[in-house]
Amino acid sequence: RAGEWGTPINLGPEVNTSGIEFAPYLSPDGQFLFFSRRDQWENATFSTIYWVSMELVDSLRAR
């Protein structure tokens, strides 16, 4: 959408967990969403990087 981020959408427990998800990045070809997660913000010294196909994101968004 015009190269800008829109309003965040909660995609349900498959994506939005009880952890802290942050730093979203869309791959240049638009096929993958990368993000970081920390399970306990105060005690975490590192975060884990995940990726998900945009096909999955689109299917969750359509719910």
Spatial neighbors of 15 by CB under 8 A, at least 6 apart, are 21, 52, 57, 60
Tokens of 25: 């990045």
In a domain, 48, yes or no: yes
Determine the Cα–Cα distance for residues 58 and 19; give it in Å rounded to an integer. 22
In a domain, 49, yes or no: yes
In a domain, 28, yes or no: yes
Q: What's residue 44's pLDDT?
A: 63
pLDDT tens column, 8-43: 878 778 777 888 888 989 999 999 999 988 876 566
In a domain, 31, yes or no: yes
Closest CA to 52 of 43, 61, 44: 61
pTM for the whole structure: 0.66
Domain range spanning residue 32? 20-61
- Give the total number of structural domains in the chain: 1
Q: What's residue 42's pLDDT?
A: 67
The one-letter amino acid code at 23 reads: A
Q: What's residue 59's pLDDT?
A: 86
Tokens of 23: 């730093």
Backbone angles phi, psi at 51, to 5 degrees: -140, 150
